[in-house]
Structures are given as structure tokens and as C-alpha cells.
Structure 1
Amino acid sequence: MPLFEFEGKRPVVHPDAFVAPTATLIGDVTVEAGASIWYGAVLRADICTIVVREGANVQDNSVLHAAPGETLVVGRNATVGHGCIVHCGEVGEQALVGNGSTLLDHAVVGPGTLVAAGSVVTPGTQLPGGMVVTGIPAKPTKPIEGTSSQLWVEQNPPYYQELARRHAAATAEVGR
């Protein structure tokens, strides 16, 4: 896995975290226990700080970065889906950012919220916890409780934690 120091700051990855061999971590990045960073993901903390909390997962080809001096936190057991651009302040605990979504400067996604695939969360938006959020610009549409979306939010973190253990144990580069 490519880990790069930048101006004296280097990534810190807990031994129980999974970082795919093609993920790239640059600068002031912390990845806590049980978290996973998947193939092709880029976490660039050259002008900011990025913290991926325990059990969270950042899926394939997502890019995380933030404004100068900001701290971007991916909360405990949160999910950043495939191909997302996360340039915000916080993804709350057990929130799920759907595939292909974009979160812009200073946005905050509340805990347990599902941001639907392809949504765009505009700069400075504060999304409440426990909601389904959709659209461009993203707006809360209904409480997540009692919806099928709630299953995604609840079941995705343990699924990806187990899948990360399997990848850590069984993925090997093959020759040509």
C-alpha cells in the first residue's frame, strides 16, 4: 500500500485496519482499528487532516480531501461508497454515503444518515442524523427509521469489516 509522508506528516494505520495495496494515503491520515480503505481510494491529507474512525470503510476509487486546515472525519462504522468525492467536514457515525456521491466543503452528514447514490451535498450543508437524503442539491426526504435504507446503514459496516479481514488474509498479487 502506498503511504506517503508530506512535509513531515505521515499516515498512521492501526495494525487491525485493512488498506488495499492500491489505495494511496498521503500526509496527516489516521486509519483506526477495524477500518478499511479499498482499492484505488486516495486519502490526501496534505493541507488538511483525515481521520477514518474505527470500523468505517472507504470503498474503491473514492477520493477524500478537505479545505486547508480542516479535519475530515469519517465516523465510527460509517461507509463511503464506491467512487465518491468527499471534500467535507464530517461523515457521521454509521452514516452511509452512496456510490458516486459528492460532499463539498464544510458539509456535515449526521449520524445514521443515508446519502443516496449520486447525490451532491453542497458546501456548508448540515444534514441531520437519521435521514434519507437525495438529489442535487441533496435534501432530506424522510426519516431512515423503518425504511429499507436502514438495513443498508446497519448491515454495511459489519459486512465490510468481515470482507476486509478476508481480503487481508487471502489477497495476493499474481504475476503475468
Structure 2
Amino acid sequence: MSLFEFEGVRPTVHPEAWVAPTATLVGDVRLGPRVSVWYGAVLRADVGPIVIEEGSNVQDNSVLHVRTGSHLHIGAHSTVAHGCVVHGREIGTRSLVGNGSVLLDESVIGSGVLVAAGALVTPGTVVPDGMLVKGSPAKVTGAVEPGSTPALILEHNATVYIDLMERHRRSTRPVD
């Protein structure tokens, strides 16, 4: 992993968190227990803090940053999937931002929200708890119904990634 101090502020990585060797954290990044940051991800907290709570994961090649003077907070057991750009302000607890999605300045994603793959969440958008969001620009298309496929994805994704993180922690080694 590449950790960089910026203007005297260093990333804080909980001992139970895991950061892939090719991920980059800059400045005021704070990772809670069992957080995982995957290969090629960049978390650049040079103009505002990025705080990620317990059990959440930021997957391969995602980029997280904030608007000057703002912050990014990701609640517990949430997922930022592969290849996302997150420039928003908040992602609630047990939410999932699907592959290739873009969250723009000051967007707020509630708890229990599924942002479908490829969605473009425009600046300042606020998505209420428990919603399914799709499209470009993204629109709320309904609620995440209990027992539905989206609900099952939200329920199990973070747990799957905590297990996968432990497997990578134990067995990933550089190859000569």
C-alpha cells in the first residue's frame, strides 16, 4: 500500500483494516476496522477528510475525493464497487454503489440504497434511505423491497468482502 502524508496529515488505518499493496491513500483518510481498499483504488483526502466505517469496502480502481472544504463519509458495511468515481459527501450504512458509477459533488446516498452499475448521480442529489437508483442522470426507480435481489445484495455484499479481505491478507504475496 502507498500511504502519503499531505500538509502534515497522514492516513489512519485501523489494524483490522486491509489495504491492497497497489492502493493509494493520501492525507486525511480514516479507515475503521475490517475496511478493505482494493487494488488500484485511490483515496485522496487533500482538501477534506474521507472517513470509512467498519466493514465497508472500496473495490479495484475506484477513486474517492471531495470538493474543497467538504468531506466524504461512508457508513458501516457499505460497498463502492469496481471502477467508481466518488466525489460525494455521504454514503449511508449498508449501501452499495455499483460498478462504474459516478457520484458527483455533495451527493448524499442514504442507508440501504443500491446505486445500479453505471449510474451518474448529479451534484447535490439526495437519495433517501432504502431506494434503488438507476440511470444517467440517476433517478430513484423504487424502493429496495425486503427479500428482493437488491435487498439480498445489500445484505450479503459487505460480509462477502470481509471474508475475501481476510483471505487476501493471509495469502497475497508478490511474485518474482
Q: TM-score, normalised by structure 2?
A: 0.98
SS in 1 for 2:60: coil
Alpha-carbon separation, structure 2, partners of 1:103 and 1:67 = 12
Deviation track 1:18-77 (CA, whole Å, cap 9, x = no partner) reads 100000000000000011000000000011110011000000000000001111011100
1:77 matched to 2:77: yes
Alpha-carbon separation, structure 2, partners of 1:74 and 1:59 = 13
SS in 1 for 2:167: helix
Please name the residue that 2:55 is paired with. 55
Alpha-carbon separation, structure 2, partners of 1:132 and 1:126 = 13
* Amino acid paired to 1:10: R
* Amino acid paired to 2:164: L
* Amino acid paired to 2:65: H
Alpha-carbon separation, structure 2, partners of 1:27 and 1:68 = 13
Equivalence map 1:113-128=2 (5 Å):
113-128=113-128
Deviation track 1:136-175 (CA, whole Å, cap 9, x = no partner) reads 1111101101321111111100000010000001000010
Please name the residue that 1:152 is paired with. 153
Q: TM-score, normalised by structure 1?
A: 0.98
Please name the residue that 1:46 is paired with. 46
Structure 1 runs of 4+ with >6 Å offset: none
Please name the residue that 1:90 is paired with. 90
Residues matched between the structures, number? 175
SS in 2 for 1:162: helix
Taking only aligned residues, the RMSD between alpha carbons, in angstroms, comes to 0.6
Please name the residue that 2:162 is paired with. 161
Alpha-carbon separation, structure 1, partners of 2:114 and 2:160 = 17
- Give the gaps of 5 or more residues in structure 1: none
The alignment-based identity, stated in percent, is 57
